[in-house]
Amino acid sequence: MKQSYEKIFENNKKWVESKLAENKDFFKTLSETQTPDFLYIGCSDSRVSAEELMGMKPGEVFVTRNIANVVNTLDMSSTAVIQYAVEHLKVKHIIVCGHYGCGGVKAAMTPQDLGLLNPWLRTIRDVYRLHQVELDAIADEQKRYDRLVELNVQEQCINVIKMAVVQEQYLVDEYPVVHGWVFDMRTGKIVDLEIDFENILKDIQKIYNLTKSDWVMSRKNNKNFK
């Protein structure tokens, strides 16, 4: 166990050496600031690494991860990350990325008491409840499981769009745009669920319109004046 732990520091040393060999100012530049265009909301699964599957470099993706890529507005961690990414980093895209074979989604499909996991998994079970007719009509258990993974991503995208900071920033700057992806570990490919962000935003604003109209108009006017 100690050996596997110490290997991390060996790997880090080799990584530092390789980066300096490519660019002697790599860490100087890295430490100055971050200007990512992407916020990635993903699953904590150890097999799914955001930057690696996206082919991105350090500083290009702002990342938050939790069990089954859930966006719950009562979870201060995810809401704080989204607020910071949108308001301060000015990200252009928010990606909610699930993955086939997700243990959290599978646990949510299982009717059993899982202790402290119950409140967290309830969000995914709510997704099942909303789409129960469609899901129960899928006879193949694996296909039903995969479909719930996709539906969970879609519903978490909607939870992101409900947030005031996302609505307000989009009305002013026409970004960020919210995307739903699923990573297929069986092929290594990203599946774009092609979330219709603009139409979803229009639909939910009838109920979840949280924008401060005076603030939005003021921001727009200041932007146009500049």
Please say if 65 is a catalytic residue.
no
Please say if 47 is a catalytic residue.
yes
* Among 97, 102, 157, 179, the one annotated catalytic: 102
* Among 75, 97, 99, 146, the one annotated catalytic: 99
Compute the distance between CA of residue 156 and CA of residue 152 in angstroms, rounded to an integer: 6
Other Cβ atoms less than 10 A from the Cβ of 167: the count is 21
Please say if 97 is a catalytic residue.
no
Q: 2: which residues sit within 8 A by CB, 6+ positions away?
A: none
* Among 25, 37, 45, 75, the one annotated catalytic: 45
Helix, strand counts (H, E) of the chain: 11, 5
Residue matched to tokens 């308001």: 87
* Among 43, 97, 146, 157, the one annotated catalytic: 43
Q: 114: which residues sit within 8 A by CB, 6+ positions away?
A: 107, 121
**Pairing mode, strands 61-66 and 93-99:** unpaired
Which parts of 23-69 fold into alpha helices (H)? 26-32, 50-54
Please say if 147 is a catalytic residue.
no
Task: State the maximum Cα–Cα separation within the chain, in Å, rounded to a whole number.
Answer: 61
Please say if 43 is a catalytic residue.
yes
* Among 47, 126, 129, 192, the one annotated catalytic: 47
Give the type of residue at 195: I
Catalytic residue numbers read 43, 45, 47, 99, 102
